[in-house]
Structure 1
């Protein structure tokens, strides 16, 4: 495990973007596992800036996103496909057919989960998986549970997750209650994992994830077992860290 302490959110975003850009420069057709949410938004902004300066080329990159809400079309403003298009894909030279998310509108969700796992396998696996961290320790939409869910699956979102995501919707009742998400095994099979965490409100859960027992009650704790984990977090999120 490698922990990189950043000064603030902007510095965290820049350092995380450095890790991703190095991966793309090293392997032009890299498979990037991508995340959504406010934490990684600055990382995408930095990558876009470097692309516009000609420092990075995404023309051969393939991407697979962690998750998608069930019941939201790709065109819905709150869908993760829309988030990715608006904040990243439309601003770089990535080929649209090389970008993949689970289909939250699939008529057969079990088959969609199996299809997504086959897709990841067909791409040769994920070279670098970008992750944020939920307030309850979830990664992707893998919520606290009695066991680690291995592969892509449907998940019932916890109330704390629904509350955290309400800011992106008109009101709490508009937030989908279910989502499709990569499982823990899918995430852990990535050759490298980059975890980004920002803010004092995430300090306690980050400490649990990195130093507490490995337990499905804190899904992110499984990352302790990954052989190539890089954590980029700001001073507030790492206020407990003495390294």
Structure 2
């Protein structure tokens, strides 16, 4: 696992965007795993800037969202169908037909989950998966005690996650209680993982994921099993890391041929 500690959130977004841009430049028809929430927004803003400048072309790139609320209409502004369209698909110039989001309105949720897994496999798998991390260590909506080998499925959101997401809704009660999420096993299948975190509120979760034991109690710790996972954080989110000086040293001395 590579840990990159940067001065601020803007730099986190820029460096993470460079990882995604490198994948797209090498494979224009590649597949990106798309996360929602506040953490990856700086990535999408930087990628949009590069697309507008003609540095990148996303017209052939496929996208698969990590998750979706159950029971929220697709046209609800906080459904991830709407959020992905608003923050990723349109700004980056992706073809909407090539962007998929789990179906939280399906009559048969297990069948819809199986179909989503099949669609990812049919696309050749995810080349680079963007991830954020919840304060309780969740990635996607894989809450603590999620199976480390889990696949796309329905999950019950914890009260903590619902409270954290209440800022996007009129009230905490308006946040759905369930979601459909890619599983931890699904996430591990991606060829490259890029997790970003900003702010002191994520410091404990980042430390548990990076330096704690591999445990379902911190779902993000599953990144320790991946052969090519990069964790990019600002100083505040890195404040609980015991080996922070070593991570800064390895980044400062990374061979030029090895970047990104």
Deviation at 1:225, TM superposition (A): 0.8
Tell whether 2:178 aligns with 1:156.
Answer: no
Aligned length: 243
In structure 2, do the counterparts of structure 1 residues 146 and 72 end up closer, same or farther at CA, with 3 Å as the change threshold?
closer
Listed one character per residue, the Cα deviations across residues 79-111 of structure 1 (whole Å, up to 9, x for unaligned) are 011111111211232111100000111111010
Let me know the Cα RMSD of the aligned residues: 1.0
Please give the secondary structure, in 2, of the residue aligned with 1:125: coil
Runs of 4 or more consecutive aligned structure 1 residues displaced over 4 Å after TM superposition: none
Question: Within 5 A, what are the aligned runs for 1:93-108?
Answer: 93-108=93-108
Please give the secondary structure, in 2, of the residue aligned with 1:203: helix
Q: Distance in 1 between matches of 2:245 and 2:200?
A: 15
Pick the aligned partner of 1:242 from 229, 245, 248: 245
Deviation at 1:150, TM superposition (A): 1.3
Q: Point out the more displaced range, 142-151 or 131-140.
A: 142-151
In structure 2, do the counterparts of structure 1 residues 2 and 146 end up closer, same or farther at CA, with 3 Å as the change threshold?
closer
Q: Distance in 1 between matches of 2:12 and 2:171?
A: 30
Listed one character per residue, the Cα deviations across residues 104-161 of structure 1 (whole Å, up to 9, x for unaligned) are 1111101001000000110011100000000100000000016335110000000110
Please give the secondary structure, in 2, of the residue aligned with 1:238: coil
Structure 2 unmatched runs, 5+: 247-260
Paired residues of 2:139 and 2:220 also in contact (CA < 8 A): yes
Q: Distance in 2 between matches of 1:74 and 1:242?
A: 45
Paired residues of 2:198 and 2:236 also in contact (CA < 8 A): yes
Question: Within 5 A, what are the aligned runs for 1:182-193?
Answer: 182-193=182-193
Tell whether 2:224 aligns with 1:221.
Answer: no
Partner of 1:46: 46
Question: Within 5 A, what are the aligned runs for 1:81-230?
Answer: 81-145=81-145, 147-148=147-148, 150-230=150-230
Provide TM-score, normalisation by structure 2.
0.92
Listed one character per residue, the Cα deviations across residues 141-183 of structure 1 (whole Å, up to 9, x for unaligned) are 0000163351100000001100000000000110000000000
Q: Distance in 1 between matches of 2:188 and 2:110?
A: 21
Please give the secondary structure, in 2, of the residue aligned with 1:88: helix
Partner of 1:80: 80
Paired residues of 1:142 and 1:149 also in contact (CA < 8 A): no
Q: Distance in 1 between matches of 2:123 and 2:22?
A: 20
Tell whether 2:68 aligns with 1:68.
Answer: yes
Paired residues of 2:142 and 2:181 also in contact (CA < 8 A): yes
Paired residues of 2:6 and 2:232 also in contact (CA < 8 A): yes
Structure 1 unmatched runs, 5+: none
Q: Point out the more displaced range, 92-101 or 136-145.
A: 92-101
Paired residues of 2:31 and 2:125 also in contact (CA < 8 A): yes
Q: Distance in 1 between matches of 2:216 and 2:144?
A: 6
